[in-house]
Structure 1
Amino acid sequence: MSLVCFLCCYISLFSQSVERPSIWVKQADKAIVLQRIEDHSEIKAYYKQFAERVEKDLSAYQKDKKEYLYRLPWNLRQRQGTHFPPFQTFTDFDGRSREQQIVLMHYLQTAIDCGVLYFLTDEKPYAEYAASVLHNVTNGLLALPSPQEKHNAGWLYTKDHLREAREIGAQLPIIYDFVHPYLKNKGNVYDLGQNAMVPFNFKDGQKVFRTYVKLALERGIIDCNWPVLESPSLVGNILALDDDEERNSLLPYFLTQNTKHQDALAKVAAHYLDYDGDWPESINYANGVNTFLTYLMTLLTKYDPSLHLGQKYPQILEALPKPYYLTYPNKTETILFGDGHRKYNPNYQAYETAYYLAKLESQEKYRKIYGSLINSAIARGDYIRFKLGFRNYGARHYNEPTKLLWFEPSIDGSIKDYPLPVTDELPFAGIVLQRNLSETNKPADALMGFVGGGHYVHGHATGMFLELYGKGFVLGNKSGRSRYRSEIHENYYRLFASNNTVIVNGSSEGKGGWAGLQINTVQKIVTEPKPKTEAISPMNSFSMTRFVDDKGDNAEAIQERTLGIVRTSPKTGYYIDVFRSKSSLPNQFHDYIYHNIGESLSLTSHTRPLVLKPDNERFSNSKNKPWTNNKKARHPGWHYFKFIETSNIHSENVTATFSATKLDPKPIKMKAFVLGANKREYTKVMAPPSTEGPIPYRESQTPTLVIRQIGEAWNNPFAVVYEPIKGNKGSITSVHKLEQNGIFKGFEICSKVNNKNLKQFVIIQDSSNSEFTDLDKEISFIGRYAVITLDNENSLHSIYMGDGSSLKYKDTNIISNTGESTAVFIDYKQDIPKVKTTKSITLKNDAFKTKIYKPTQE
């Protein structure tokens, strides 16, 4: 029998053997919960507040049942005779429509809470209220025609089952499960149509549950987050079915059996393994998937402990805290990619649920992980466990009730501070991040940045893009997002021009795949340290990544980007950004784009303002391209740039200064020291607002720098040193180019830190076999990345070889004993150098002679 026929024609024989409630709790849990309430004052206080919150609704219902239930969104004009009126249907979710929807969600949430209270107290007024809401909502739905839309068909929300599943469909079975004992014991419900107390119609209830099961299985889409967002409704409504055979035959459609419109848990969980342990969508969507799956695995493990879902799919528990691992040092924001949001919202409810599931499954590893996350948040003052939250309607209907029913009275787990790995990665999004936290423990003194780009659901066509953090804020930022399907969201925020990236030949684009935005995924070449491993240097890290820009026909480019962090003191440091780009097409040109939070951007060369002229048509080639909503965009999106001013060709170094005066009493600035090159033009523009930036700037245009290289940008790439500063003076005093035979090899950077001079040679090459020799500076290096630091007396302060096989500076010579690239850090602050290395090396020095050092870490 087909699924459709099965769901439509199934005749329940009510051969029920399950004892209700059975979805969130069982009767055996009642004594345990009540004992916790009795024994723990904070749980008792929470329980008291939980019960008090329903009193107003309960009183209003008891005072005038008809008036109270009349407030639901009935369509009285469609009522026929004495038949029950249908609900209004909805296709929009704003204004008056949303107000009516919130009334319905409020009643459903209150009914759930009353169901929980009935379970704990056996007091019939709670049961009658909850059951009456269930009865009237059931009849209001059944008075509507069956959903007709083939895609995303809802019953009440006729074109949005995805929303209806979360806001209505998932709540009804929970209410039924809790009030079932009352109903089976001949407890009556108030019927608005008859204005009388009547028996509950179990057959009608079962019909509603079957309908929501059918909608989930037959009207959605797969290979994205939709199946998971619909699953609380799917699972709840399956478990609300009273017939054992029917219930057991349908549950595999969540656990293991896919349909053309719904992915089962087994397939969803496999995605995590396919994508290196991550759910492949932007943070808010991935976090929603992780959260719902943790909830559902816990629910089903309680329902049937033999399923062992926590043990079967540990990758989901591993991924749940991912947003925490991607936070910036201010602890309030995460990295931004795709349709995500920047604000970091710790999901303590999910952590508590995962901790409870780990207890059910005897998984000590996850008890430790989540116990530590919870206890650390409590110690910081960021989280109070048993505190009644704001009324949460819709998808998180389970938050407060399960806090009362599931949360452990106490949590075991060590308290840990914020520090996270120096480097981390998110391979599906092509992201490699670096952070350097200051010994001052102040977020304003920390450094962090990332490079990324890839194709995934809710992804953007970004190219190989960059974000930079400084002085407590994400300054060099991805622009954010706007309202879905709006023109600016589709044709700017989702495209190359809204990112810190390079556009090739004015033609970089995404093509095919999700929403026509497919790009190649940025590939990691090398990072030091390796992701999630201990740093070899407290002052340095770097990453090198590669991207192929070949969607469409007119870019045809390969690119490499090196991002380095160099700390010069506990309060100072800078970023190295070297972006190489070359196209196989003739007449190539490359535009390096960098957005930074603030009001203004100034460009100088040799301390004099760079001469700029209006250039309004420079980025207009995309404004008249065809646009089809969610399918074809106006790439690369830079026609939204305004107040465009461009220099003549300028080959000298340029300093760009971005200023933001609304973040702190002292201005927060980002200084960009740009190494000069032939055939280069500089443009400053105002880009659309950074909608995920600091609040004072979310509606202001964003100062943006565009550097155009006419010809290839590989041998002489875009090479920029970024220094975030607070006030008007930074630590960097000069930046010069290192080159060999006219080819870029790195930077010579001079700083003044704590009134002492510091000179650093930062060597950057495009392969592990590349060689650089400067006889005047007495430097010889084979490898990709190295930093030589000299102190106030021009003596060695430290050497960092991030990736190389040999490095010689004056009489100091580092040689990899295997000939392979290695990472080495040598600290010269003490009389005897302190050496760390990832592979065996030989260190030769006139003062310390020759010594072999074995790996301090692999």
Structure 2
Amino acid sequence: MYKRCKIVKLLKRHTCIGQLMLVTFLCCYTTVFSQTVKRPSIWVKPADKAIILNKIKTNSDINDYYKNFTKRVENDLKAYQNNKETYLKKLPWNYNDVKPSDFPPLHTYVSFDGKEREQQNTIMHYLQTAIDCGVLYFLTDDEQYAEYSGSVLFNISKGLLALPEPKENHNAGWLYTKDHLREAREIGAQLPIIYDFVYQYLNNNGKVYDLGQTAMVPYNFEDGQKIFRTYVDLALERGIINCNWPILESPSLVGNILALDDEQERNELLPYFLTINTKHQDALQKIANHYLEYNGDWPESINYSNGVNTFLTYLMTLLTKYDPSLHLGQKYPQILEALPKPYYMTYPNKEETILFGDGHRKYSPNYHAYETAYYLAKLEKQEQFVNIYGSLLNSNIAQGNYKRFQLGERSYGARFYNEPTKLLWFEPEIEGSVKDYPLPVTDELPFAGIVLQRNLSDNQNAEDDLMGFVGGGHYVHGHATGMFMELYGKGFVLGGKSGRTQYRTEIHENYYRLFASNNTVVVNGSSEGKGGWAGLEINTVEKIAVEPTPKTAAISPYNSFSITRFKDDKGEKTKALQERTLGIVRTSSKTGYYIDVFRSKSSLPNQYHDYIYHNIGESLRIDSGEKALPLFSDKNRFSNSRDKPWMNNKKAKHPGWHYFESIETSKPTSNNITATFTANKLNPAPIKMKAFILGAEDREYTSVLAPPTTEGPKPYKSAKTPTLVIRKKNEAWQNPFAVIYEPIKGNNGSIASVEEIKEDDIFKGFVVNSSLENKRIKQYIIIQDSKDTTFATSDKQIEFTGSYAVITLDEKENLSSVYVGEGSFLKFEDISIISNSGQSTSLFIDFKNTDLKVNTKHSITLKSNNSKAKIYN
């Protein structure tokens, strides 16, 4: 019989309009609160038990997993049973100034290193073991598991309640007093799961060990409910919004709401995750709308967006299990669509992903999240996602990349649910075809201004694949990069973003987050970010043209290109407009090169522009013709940012190039230059990046050693990075920075020479001569700053209206192929190609055989002196 009592206040929280509201309920003096839910109810329901046991019985892999899962808790269970007091005393209790009659509080923490981290790991170890034992109690009804889990829950709860309630408004934790964001993941989210699994034991007068009394006692339900309410309050009242914080706190928020025993209270609070925003917590509805606003992406760097996608998939699955009528998978399919995004952004070696903002380079497939998404899709009967994730999983299984039902190494923290839900949720069999997942030739992340290109070799060797991207934008955890570039070659990201170091360190904030750590252009020595997140706001790089259109089939097997544009105007001394053309040209299954044309001009007088390119390796050699370009010590060249003020996360020393060392600069020269970067530790043969740089009046070339590329290949993570800086005084638009990059394995590349194409002393492109297996080819690459700009050589051999074209001649200088990335008219000798609409189109024509191969986006007419005009659609 339940006894009624007075109305008590439970929880203060914001409503959607920011007003404070008191939630009240009728409690009872006995040990339980009124509830209609039958526990467990968070990860599983009682009806799931028979299904899971049948999986274990009938599937040998799951059976083996279950045995290993059970075995992992045996040592803790035995230690607890042998001496409960000794076992529980290993938790980090604080006995200072504690009366003998009082229960000791747990230690509190503001540090997460050294001894403190060891103590935190002990707490997380006990919590993880208690969750695992809770799962085993659910499956076996063996009360030894329930007693262990209940005792850990009881004593940690008592240790928390002995602490003062958190008082700070921002990110106040209970155990981690200044970091609820971490505590929510490492402590707060685990407690309600334990409670949910052992509730039936506790409610049926099951005893737990009380370290304070050194005796077995009934569980105190009222204390447990205080714990859950406190963690709900911390999530709703102490965080920040419009970033990943609300999602990282939500496993704690949702779990603790669902652990509350009063049905009305649960029903009132759950909308604070689903639909109602507070000043300190974004709801799922708002979070899901962000994906729609940002073209299907979560707008942060990949490791953060991947975490957001993973947690949301977990939470949507959990809540769909709890209440199938929510249909969260059907309501927010954009989250399931975004989950594989890190894979779509990988480099051809499949071990690294593109780097931007505070991200990491290393790529690890998110198989647990894929399995969870597959399970959710089955629950929601979403065949589209059953097929996508089924094929992703089965393809990786077939390739030997993934083994299901393997017990992972013991780990603690945010992914506490991985192993238990593997047992509880994963389907015994996966439906889905085994197939290769070819990555698109071009793709994009609009919120980060990123446009990427790939060209995979037909020999299926990742060493011979090509990939690069241009990007830059402002978002949480974004960097002030300008319009930056990365280049891949011979199996590695050779020309990459420098990476990151520990947050809040001087070099992280004043180098790794700023222009100088990127392959970009600095204007007047003053390019910077200003305002926004951490004072690093820059304009977002704008896509002007790209072929092929992202995620569509390529027009040409050998070519792709993009044009992007950027305003560098956050600094008062820049006022610049920039445009960057990045192209990929494949010349054989093993060879190819990148085209980088960077235009930059400022509206200010006395302008100058510095083109920066970092490449991993030991050395950089700069040559003019057949000789090394003389360089002279130039210690103060990049010192103007050294003495600027710095305020943590607010003001930085832009552009950050005072970290450059071993600075040596040439005298002004207008000669063509060749720069060779060499890395000897990646392969028995040296891996090189050779840069062919077109000359222009009064260019100055500087060799520096930049800080380490911390997200680069292992041999170079702590080594200084060879870096080239090219300075152009006056504008760099009509005669931009124009570079051909060729990745090389060994000592000899395929490019023999690079020449400039000009018209009226204005840059119009390159002539690239290559030697391929003793055969020579010549390529004319025409690059203009607008699709409506026209060009003609003096002999009228070539005429072009458009922004990008590649004309390839064979060893006999016969026309081999033509690629137009964006253009409306092209003439080469006696052959003319005309867009029938007069509008720009993209096209590729292979002339090697008499039976021409034509691929065009829009209708064109091909004319020749030797044949009739022909229309191709």
Fold agreement, TM-score > 0.5: yes
Residue equivalent to 1:3: 13
Of the three residues 453, 462, 469, the one matched with 2:481 is 462
The C-alpha deviation readout for 1:366-385, integer Å capped at 9, x for no partner, is 11111111111111111111
1:708 aligns with 2:732: no
* Alignment partner of 1:838 is 2:857: yes
Structure 2 match to 1:322: 341
Letter in 1 for 2:425: W
Cα distance per residue 1:671-703 (max 9 Å; x no partner): 000000002100000000000000000000000
Measured in 1, the distance between the counterparts of 2:656 and 2:682 equals 28
1:373 is the counterpart of 2:383: no
Q: State the match for 2:371 in structure 1.
A: 352
2:534 counterpart of 1:524: no
Q: 1: distance between equivalents of 2:379 and 2:867?
A: 59
The Cα of 1:848 is off from its aligned counterpart by: 3.5
Residue from 543, 558, 571 that aligns with 1:552 = 571
For 1:807 and 1:104, the matched residues in 2 are separated by: 70
Q: Is structure 2 residue 65 aligned with structure 1 residue 46?
A: yes
Aligned length: 854
Which residue, 305, 314, 318 being the options, matches 1:299?
318
Structure 1 residue 9: Cα displacement = 6.4
- Counterpart in the other structure of 1:771: 790
**Runs of 4+ with deviation above 3 angstroms:** 4-13
Structure 2: which amino acid aligns with 1:374?
L
For residue 47 of structure 2, give the secondary structure of its aligned residue in structure 1.
Answer: helix
Alignment deviations for residues 237-261 of structure 1 (CA, whole Å, 9 cap, x no partner): 0000000011110000000000000
What is the one-letter code of the residue matched to 2:496? N
Change (3 A) 1:299 1:619: same
Deviations, residues 374-426 of structure 1 (Å, cap 9, x unaligned): 11111111111110001121100100000000000011112222421100000
Change in 2 beyond 3 A, CA 1:210/1:318: same
Q: Distance in 2 between matches of 1:836 and 1:598?
A: 40
Residues in 2 aligned to 1:540 and 1:12: alpha-carbon distance in whole angstroms: 71
Structure 1 contact 497–636 (Cα < 8 Å) conserved: yes
Distance in 2, Cα, partners of 1:503 & 1:329: 30
What letter corresponds to residue 3 of structure 1 in structure 2? R
CA contact (8 A) 2:138 2:197 kept: yes
* 3-state SS in 2 of match to 1:416: coil
Alignment of 1:541-580 (within 5 A): 541-580=560-599
Contact 1:7–1:214 (8 Å) recurs in 2: no
Residue 842 (structure 1) shift = 0.1
2:870 to 848, 851, 858: 851
Q: Indicate the SS of the match to 1:532.
A: coil
Match of 1:179 among 187, 198, 204: 198
Aligned to 1:601: 620
Between the aligned partners of 1:332 and 1:821, the Cα distance in structure 2 is 38
Check conservation: 2:784, 2:802, Cα contact below 8 A. Answer: yes
State the match for 1:116 in structure 2: 135
Q: Could you tell me which residue of structure 2 aligns to residue 585 of structure 1?
A: 604
Aligned residue among 617, 626, 629 for 1:610 = 629
1:622 — aligned with what?
A: 641
**CA–CA distance in 2 between the matches of 1:679 and 1:306?**
70
Structure 1, unaligned stretches of length 5 or more? Answer: none
Q: Deviations over 1:441-488 (max 9, x none)?
A: 010000000000000000000000000000000000000001000000
Q: Which residue of 1 aligns with 2:382?
A: 363
- For residues 644 and 428 of structure 1, what CA distance do their matches in structure 2 show? 35
Distance 1:188 1:708, change over 3 A: same
The residue that corresponds to 1:436 in the other structure is: 455
Matches within 5 A, 1:723-742: 723-742=742-761
Letter in 2 for 1:851: K
Measure how far apart 1:80 and its partner are: 1.8
C-alpha separation between the residues in 2 aligned to 1:12 and 1:747? 80
Q: What amino acid is the match of 2:205?
A: K
Q: Secondary structure at the match of 1:666?
A: coil
Q: Which letter maps to 1:682?
A: Y
Distance 1:303 1:416 in 2: 34
- Aligned pairs (5 A) from 1:137-536: 137-536=156-555
TM value normalised by structure 2? 0.97
What CA distance in whole angstroms lies between the structure 1 residues aligned with 2:106 and 2:287?
34
Q: Normalising to structure 1: TM-score of the pair?
A: 0.99
- Report the residue type matching 2:727 in the other structure: R
2:830 is the alignment partner of 1:806 = no
Q: Do the aligned partners of 2:23 and 2:265 also contact (CA within 8 Å) in 1?
A: no
Structure-1 separation of matches of 2:543 and 2:12 = 47
Q: Which residue, 807, 810, 813 being the options, matches 1:791?
A: 810
Residue 715 (structure 2) pairs with residue 696 (structure 1): yes
The 8 Å contact of residues 12 and 233 in structure 2, kept in 1 or not, is answered as no
CA distance in 1 between counterparts of 2:147 and 2:281 reads 35
Tell me the distance in 2 between the aligned counterparts of 1:7 and 1:110: 36
Post-superposition Cα deviations, 1:790-811, rounded to whole Å, max 9, x if no partner, equal: 0011111110011000000011
Which residue of the partner structure matches residue 136 of structure 1?
155
* 1:95-110 aligned within 5 A: 95-110=114-129
Deviation at 1:83, TM superposition (A): 1.1
Which residue does 1:657 correspond to in 2? 676
> How many Å apart are 1:8 and its aligned residue?
8.2
Aligned to 1:635: 654
The more displaced of 773-782 and 405-414 is: 773-782
Letter in 2 for 1:139: K
Mapped partners of 1:520, 1:114: distance in 2: 52
Secondary structure of the corresponding residue to residue 563 of structure 1: strand
Aligned to 1:751: 770
Q: Distance in 2 between matches of 1:291 and 1:416?
A: 24
Aligned equivalents of 1:44, 1:54: Cα separation in 2: 16
Task: After superposition, give the CA deviation of every residue in 1:722-745 in whole Å (9 maximum; x if it has no partner).
Answer: 000000000000000000000000
Q: Which amino acid in structure 2 is aligned with residue 318 of structure 1?
A: E
1:777 CA displacement = 6.7
- Whether contact under 8 Å (1:78, 1:86) holds in the other structure is no
Correspondence for 2:801 among 782, 807, 828:
782
Q: Which residue in 1 is equivalent to 2:7? A: none
2:6 aligns with none
CA deviation string 1:97-117 (max 9, x = no partner): 000000000000000000000
Offset of residue 11 of structure 1: 5.5
1:77 to partner: Cα distance: 1.3
Contact residue 78 and residue 85 of structure 1 kept, 8 A: no
Instruction: Measure, in 2, the Cα distance between the counterparts of 1:349 and 1:602.
Output: 46
In 2: Cα distance, 1:417 partner to 1:342 partner: 23
Contact 1:812 1:844 in 2 (8 A): yes
1:27 corresponds in structure 2 to: 46
1-structure distance, mates of 2:823, 2:316: 47
For residues 554-576 of structure 1, the C-alpha deviation after alignment (integer angstroms, 9 at most, x for no partner) is: 00000000000000000000000
SS at 2:392's partner residue? helix
The alignment-based identity, stated in percent, is: 72
Structure-2 change in CA distance of 1:94 and 1:757 (3 Å): same
- Check conservation: 2:706, 2:721, Cα contact below 8 A: yes
Q: 1:847, CA displacement in angstroms?
A: 3.2
Cα distance in 2 between the residues matched to 1:188 and 1:166: 28
2:702 to 656, 673, 683: 683
Gapped regions of structure 2 (runs ≥ 5) = 1-10, 15-19
